[in-house]
Homo-oligomer: A and B are copies of this chain.
Amino acid sequence: MGSRPPVRQEEQMVYLTRDELQRMMEAVSINAIMEYKRRMVTPAIQEPVRKQRDIRTKFWSVEGHSINGFTPDAVACGGEWGESGRVVFRCSVLKIWDLGFVVLDGFELLSGGEILRMAINLRNDRNRRPLQTFRAYNVAHRGSNGELPEETSAAYMRAIEEGADFIESDVLASKDGVLICFHDVNLDDTTDIANHTEFSDRKRTYEVQGANITGYFTVDFTLEELKSLRVKQRYSFRDQQYNGKFSIITFEEFISIALDAPRVVGIYPEIKNPVFINQHVKWSKGKKFEDIFVETLKKYGYEGSYLSKKWLKQPAFIQSFAPTSLTYISNLTDLPKIFLIDDTTIPTQDTNQSFREITSDHYLDYIKEYVVGIGPWKDNLVTASNNYLQTPTDLVARAHAHNLQVHPYTFRNENQFLHFNFSQDPYNEYDYWINKIGVDGLFTDFTGSLHHYQEWTSPFSSGEKDAYNLLDKIVAMISKFKHS
C-alpha cells in the first residue's frame, strides 16, 4: 500500500448534538428501500470489504432517531483514503428487519473538518438484540460459504446479515504463529496459490493425521505472505464471481466482525488439526496452539460458562475433533466446548479412538464433564441407503440423556447433498432435523435459508405473537367478569 498513511479511526469520531444528527439523517432518502433487498445489500458489503485494510467499518446504534419518519436501527460508517488522496467518508443507514437488515441508502462525502464532525459515536451495546436461545442455533459454517468464498470477511458479514446465531471458523496458524481462519492445512484448493510463482519453492509433503499430503501449507507462510493470497470458492457449482477478491483473515479479525455486528452474534471457532499445528509452529515460552487460542479469546473478553450472563453478552462455543485439546482447554476457560465426531471409519486425531468407542455411553459419561455437546456428521445420526434416510440411530437420544447438546454438520442447499426423502427441498431437511430428530444446533452453508425456515415456522418476534399476547390479556381481563 506504499506510503499511504493508515486511517486512524479516532480522527473520525466526534460527538454530534441531536440536532446535528437529525440534519444528517434528513439528507438520507428512503427511496432505496423499495429496491430488491439482496441487490442492495451485496454492493454495500462488498465495497468496504474489498478495501478492508484501509477501512474500519463500525455499526452505530442510533435507535430513536427518525429519518423522514423512519427510525433506523443502526448507521454503518467507515473512512478510507480515496483516489484523490483525501479521506472519503461513507455512511449507510440500516434498518433491522426480521430477516437480517437492509441498507436504506448510503451517501458519500469528501473529507474536511466539517465532514469529519458528522461521524457518530452512539454505539450502545446494551440495546443490541440478544442471542436467541429458544430454538436450534443457526451456525454459519465457514460463513455464508454457499454464496461467498469460505471463511472470508465477506462470507461472515453476509452470514450476520442473513441471521446467523453463530459464525463458525476453522482456526489454523501461520509460520510466524498468527492464528488464521482457514479450513484446509494446505492452501491448494481454496486460494490462488498456484498463480503465485514467488512461492513455488514452498511445496512440501507432510504427514497429517496418518496420511501424506503434498501441497502448500499455511504453516510455511508468514501472515504477510498469506495476506498476499486471495481466497476462492471451493465448489465448482457455486458462484465463482467473488474468487480473487478476498484475503485470508486472522482469528482476531474474525472476532472483531462478530463483535461489530448490529446484534449479539456468537463465535464458534474450531481448534483445527492441533497435533499438526503444534508440530510445525512454535510459540515463545513453550506455549501451545491451544494456549494462544484461549489467550486470544480472553483478550477480546470471551469468558463464562454456557448461558451465563457473560457468555450471553459474547457467546462462544469452542469445537474440536481432538479430545486432548478439549480436556487441556477446560483448565484454561469455562467457555462451553463441543466435541466433534468424525465419520465412522476415522479415529480421533490425537487419542486414536474409534467412532464406536467415542459414541459409547461410557465415553459420553466421561466427555460430558468437559463439553456441553457433540458435533457429529449428520449421516452418522441417521444413515442413508440408496439416498433415502433410514431409521435414526439412538445417538441423539443417548446424547440428550447425557445432557449433551447435538449440533450436526453440514447442511447444504444443493440437491446433490439432499436425500430423496426431502424432495430436493432444503427446508424439508431442516423440518426433519429440527422437528423430528430434535437437534440443538445446525452447521449450515446457507444461513439465510435456515433463518427463513426458522423465522417462518418459529419466529423470533412477530406481529402475530404480539396479537396473541394482546388477545391473551384481553381474555384474562374479560374472563374475570364472566357469568358464573
Q: Interface readout for A416-439 with B: 1 if CB under 8 Å, 0 if not? A: 100011011111100010001000
Contact B471 A432 (CB under 8 A): no
Query: Bound complex: CA of A147 vs CA of B420, how far in Å?
Result: 8
User: Within 8 Å CB of A416, what residues of B?
Assistant: 237
- The contact sample of 10 A-B pairs, CB cut-off 8 A, is A38-B421, A146-B423, A146-B424, A241-B386, A241-B420, A424-B446, A428-B448, A456-B456, A467-B471, A471-B474
A64-87 residues at the B interface, CB under 8 angstroms: none
- A470 at the A/B interface (Cβ < 8 Å)? yes
The listed residue (B413, B420, B432) touching A423 by CB distance below 8 A is: B413
- Besides the contacts A147-B423, A414-B415, A467-B467, what 6 more A-B pairs have beta carbons closer than 8 Å? A36-B436, A144-B423, A237-B416, A427-B427, A456-B456, A470-B471
Query: Bound complex: CA of A424 vs CA of B413, how far in Å?
Result: 6
- A457 at the A/B interface (Cβ < 8 Å)? yes
Q: Interface readout for A432-464 with B: 1 if CB under 8 Å, 0 if not? A: 100010000000001011001000110000001
Query: Bound complex: CA of A446 vs CA of B421, how far in Å?
Result: 13
User: Within 8 Å CB of A415, what residues of B?
Assistant: 237, 413-415
Q: Give chain A's interface secondary structure class.
A: helix
Contact A446 B425 (CB under 8 A): yes
Contact B446 A423 (CB under 8 A): yes
User: Within 8 Å CB of A97, what residues of B?
Assistant: none
Select from chain B the residue with minimum beta-carbon distance to A162.
Answer: B423
Q: Interface readout for A264-292 with B: 1 if CB under 8 Å, 0 if not? A: 00000000000000000000000000000
Contact B449 A427 (CB under 8 A): yes
Q: Interface readout for A235-278 with B: 1 if CB under 8 Å, 0 if not? A: 00111010000000000000000000000000000000000000
Range class of the A interface residue count: 35 or more
Chain B's nearest CB lies how many Å from the CB of A427? 6
A interface vs B, CB < 8 Å? 36, 38, 144, 146-147, 237-239, 241, 386-387, 413-416, 420-421, 423-428, 432, 436, 446, 448-449, 452, 456-457, 464, 467-468, 470-471, 474
**Of A237, A416, A467, most B-chain CB atoms within 10 Å:** A467
Query: Bound complex: CA of A452 vs CA of B474, how far in Å?
Result: 32
Query: Bound complex: CA of A38 vs CA of B452, how far in Å?
Result: 21
Query: Bound complex: CA of A436 vs CA of B237, how far in Å?
Result: 26
Chain B's nearest CB lies how many Å from the CB of A169? 20
Chain B's nearest CB lies how many Å from the CB of A174? 31
The listed residue (B423, B449, B452) touching A448 by CB distance below 8 A is: B423
The listed residue (B36, B425, B432, B436) touching A426 by CB distance below 8 A is: B425
Chain B's nearest CB lies how many Å from the CB of A338? 26
User: Within 8 Å CB of A470, what residues of B?
Assistant: 471
User: Within 8 Å CB of A241, what residues of B?
Assistant: 386, 420
The listed residue (B147, B432, B471) touching A36 by CB distance below 8 A is: B432
**Of A38, A424, A448, most B-chain CB atoms within 10 Å:** A424
User: Within 8 Å CB of A387, what residues of B?
Assistant: 239
User: Within 8 Å CB of A452, what residues of B?
Assistant: 425, 427
Query: Bound complex: CA of A394 vs CA of B37, how far in Å?
Result: 21
User: Within 8 Å CB of A456, what residues of B?
Assistant: 456-457
Chain B's nearest CB lies how many Å from the CB of A445? 9
Select from chain B the residue with minimum beta-carbon distance to A416.
Answer: B237
**Of A146, A237, A413, A452, most B-chain CB atoms within 10 Å:** A413
Contact A448 B425 (CB under 8 A): yes
Chain B's nearest CB lies how many Å from the CB of A430? 11
Chain B's nearest CB lies how many Å from the CB of A483? 17
